[in-house]
Amino acid sequence: MFNDLFLRTCRLEETERTPVWLMRQAGRYMKEYWGIRSKHSFLEMCKTPEIAARVTMQPIDTFGFDAAILFSDILIPVEAMGVDLEFVEGRGPVLTTKIEDITDINRLVVPDPEEDLPFVLDAIRLLRKRLNVPLIGFSGAPFTLASYIIEGGGSRNYLKAKSMMYNEPRLWKSLMEKIADTVTDYLNAQIDAGAQAVQVFDSWVGCLSPEDYKQFVQPYTKQVFDGLKGDVPRIHFGTGSAMLLEHMRNAGGDVIGCDWRIGLDDAWTRIGYDHGIQGNLDPILLHATPEVLVERIRGVLDKAGGRPGHVFNLGHGILPTTPVENVKVLVDAVKKYSLK
């Protein structure tokens, strides 16, 4: 039997209970992940449809989540744009192609997903045959991808990215337009291949003031959402975004994702009850005792108040140090305590 609880919730239907999945649910906290990861690099795993499909399924089979998210990374299409990408052990992504002037930006391409990223679409097609829960496709949002491209990796202050934004607005615009075109095509290809929902990750958007978000980011994210085809639910996620929630909603998305730095009740008031909300347990709570964990899960559910449209999730990705027993505790607690 196909479990469509997550999709009905995204459409704001009254449901029997709250659906639950976790960002980065397929990953290093699971021994099944390491079983494969010890034999393959992370990028190899992303680029081999059979492996990506198997890893996507692992947490569904082990914990009984209500949705699967494709195993991949937000930087995969960035590599296809022409940026050299490596994942360095213990350091995360490193992008070595310099993107500083208009010549550099002109050299970047808008990839053709079927041609340049076929492994992503093949993994989706495989998964649709095997899954009995909805499959979520995803992409990074233009701002988060632009910061990776300009900074060359993770960053504390976004000095280079924000400097381009403030000092060279024409360069910024041409880069953001190219990324927005890439993201739109990429998500539409995932929808065509069978993704039943999509999530746009603007993970680093919290470093922006509301004014800068509205001027330099919102138009491009809106371009992406406006360009998506079909009627699959769209989730728009950011972190540190408490003061940006209404502007993110205005950029697009049926469900807005938020982190734990704001109460779910306050966040939903800002977003409006005509939209769904996803979140927002602190991932560190998965390291607490089961008693504390369950108490906090019930706190999040209480703040949602049984209103239709709440998708239970963490406020950001699950950490590799998470004890697996607690993931089981979390899934069971959400299912038990949200039951109507």
Catalytic residues: 24, 28, 37, 73, 148
CA distances from 308 to 5, 6, 16, 39, 173 (A): 11, 11, 10, 43, 38
Q: Judged by CB under 6 A, which stretch of 66-74, 189-197, 217-225, 258-266 contacts ligand CP3?
A: 66-74
75 DSSP assignment: T
Are 268 and 307 a contacting pair, CB within 8 Å? yes
153 DSSP assignment: B
From residue 279 to residue 318, the character string flagging contacts with ligand CP3 as x (rule: CB under 6 A) and all else as - is -------------------------------------xx-
User: What are the beta bridge partners of residue 136?
Assistant: 69, 197
* Distance of closest approach, residue 216 Cβ to ligand CP3, in angstroms: 19
Q: Which residues contact 269 (CB under 8 A, 6 or more apart)?
A: none
Rounded to whole angstroms, the Cα distance separating 285 from 118 reads 38
Binding of ligand CP3 at residue 26 (CB under 6 A)? yes
**Which CB sits closer to ligand CP3, 135 or 264?**
135
Q: Tell the residue number behind the tokens 């829960």, with chain if given.
A: 133
Q: For ligand CP3, how many residues bind (rule: CB under 6 A)?
A: 23
How many Cβ atoms from other residues are within 10 Å of residue 282's Cβ?
17
Rounded to whole angstroms, the Cα distance separating 96 from 82 reads 11
For β-strands 197-202 and 255-257, DSSP reports them as unpaired
What three-state secondary structure class fits 200?
Answer: strand
* Distance of closest approach, residue 89 Cβ to ligand CP3, in angstroms: 7
* Distance of closest approach, residue 14 Cβ to ligand CP3, in angstroms: 28
Rounded to whole angstroms, the Cα distance separating 139 from 200 reads 5
* Distance of closest approach, residue 144 Cβ to ligand CP3, in angstroms: 6
Closest residue to ligand CP3 in the complex (CB): 203
Residue from 67, 69, 311, 333 touching ligand CP3 (CB under 6 A): that is: 69
**Which CB sits closer to ligand CP3, 86 or 104?**
86
Residue from 29, 63, 71, 216 touching ligand CP3 (CB under 6 A): that is: 71
From residue 161 to residue 200, the character string flagging contacts with ligand CP3 as x (rule: CB under 6 A) and all else as - is ----------------------------------------
Task: Enter the tokens of residue 320.
Answer: 């590799």
Residues that bind ligand CP3 (CB under 6 A): 23-28, 37, 42, 69, 71-75, 87, 92-93, 138, 154, 201, 203, 316-317
